[in-house]
């Protein structure tokens, strides 16, 4: 549910803003900006974790989702959108920033958590988790969630300091 709040009020302090991504071992989230992510093995976990919460994505990522994301309010951001503005309109305890690289970067200073599922793949080139960062993001480990344990695929959950 979105409610419209006073424009210059900050995002609510208790809002969890969780960046969630499938990444290769060398830090890529896609080979190029139009790639549909078929190699990710964490779709069921992603669905379970994001269900009933707003999901924020960039316009490139939106174009790669043919079926949308049922059960979740989708917030598609463009280059002129202000991340603080988007977040202050969210009246839930949690939202997810689901990519892509430009959008993780745009919201980087608002992230409270990072959920990264490392996949045993190495891309030659592509889009990094953060395409452009203004400053380093300091994180601490929370827990490891098995995704496909026998293939060495786990979700690493971090808290942003
Ligand atoms: N592995 C994963 O977990 C995962 C997750 C999500 C997405 N992806 C993949 O990531 C890829 C898309 O990532 P992406 O980084 O290309 O796109 P994106 O973050 O999905 O969308 C691009 C965003 O950047 C803005 N933008 C475009 N050009 C800009 C510029 N020059 N300056 C400032 N903002 C600009 C766009 O605004 P406008 O609308 O105004 O152009 C849009 O908001 C896709 O292949 C997708 O499948 C992977």
pLDDT tens per residue across span 103-139: 999 999 999 999 999 999 999 999 999 999 999 999 9
**Number of helices followed by number of strands (H, E) in the chain:** 4, 9
Tokens 């380093």 label which residue? Answer: 136
CA angle 8, 95, 74 (to 5 degrees): 95
Q: In ligand 1, which atom is closest to the CA atom of 23? A: 1
- Please return the burial class of 57, using the count of CB atoms within 10 Å of its CB with bins 0-12, 13-18 and 19+: buried
Determine the distance separating the centroid of ligand 1 and the alpha carbon of 150, expressed in angstroms.
32
Average pLDDT of the residues in 140-154: 98
The continuous run of DSSP H or E covering 29 comes out as strand 28-30
Contact 2, 90 (CB under 8 A): yes
Q: In ligand 1, which atom is closest to the CA atom of 81? A: 43
The continuous run of DSSP H or E covering 45 comes out as helix 43-50
Residues with CB under 6 A from ligand 1: 21-22, 29-30, 33-37, 40, 57-61, 64, 77-79, 98-103, 127, 131
Query: What average pLDDT is seen over the chain?
Result: 93
- 74: nearest Cα among 61, 83, 93, 84: 61
Task: Calculate the CA 151 to chain-centre distance.
Answer: 23
The domain made up of 16-160 has a fold known as Dihydrofolate Reductase, subunit A (3.40.430)
Average pLDDT of the residues in 17-36: 98
Determine the distance separating the centroid of ligand 1 and the alpha carbon of 38, expressed in angstroms.
17
Structural tokens at position 34: 């139009």
d(CA 111, CA 108): 5
Residue 67: pLDDT band (50, 70, 90) is confident
Least confident range of 8-12, 54-58, 89-93: 8-12
Can you give the residue ranges of every domain in the chain?
16-160
Which residue among 18, 22, 24, 30 has the greatest number of ligand 1 atoms within 8 angstroms of its CB, and so is best to mutate? Answer: 30
Percent of the chain scored above 90 by pLDDT? 88
pLDDT at 47 over 80: yes
Q: In ligand 1, which atom is closest to the CA atom of 22? A: 3
Measured CA distances, 139 to 24, 37, 42, 51, 115 (Å): 19, 26, 22, 25, 11
Determine the distance separating the centroid of ligand 1 and the alpha carbon of 59, expressed in angstroms.
6
């Amino acid at each position: 549910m979105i409610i419209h709040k006073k424009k210059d009020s900050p995002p609510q302090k208790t809002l969890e803003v969780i960046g969630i991504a499938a990444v290769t071992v060398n830090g890529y989230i896609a080979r190029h900006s139009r790639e549909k992510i078929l190699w990710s093995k964490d779709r069921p976990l992603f669905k379970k974790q994001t269900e009933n919460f707003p999901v924020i994505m960039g316009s490139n990522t939106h174009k790669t989702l043919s079926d949308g994301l049922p059960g979740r309010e989708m917030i598609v951001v463009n280059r002129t959108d202000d991340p603080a503005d988007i977040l202050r309109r969210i009246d839930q305890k949690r939202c997810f920033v689901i990519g892509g690289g430009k959008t993780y970067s745009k919201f980087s200073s608002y992230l409270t958590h990072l959920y990264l599922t490392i996949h045993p793949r190495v891309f030659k080139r592509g889009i990094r988790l953060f395409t452009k960062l203004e400053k380093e993001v300091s994180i601490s480990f929370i827990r490891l969630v098995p995704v496909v344990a026998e293939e060495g695929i786990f979700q690493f959950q971090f808290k942003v300091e």
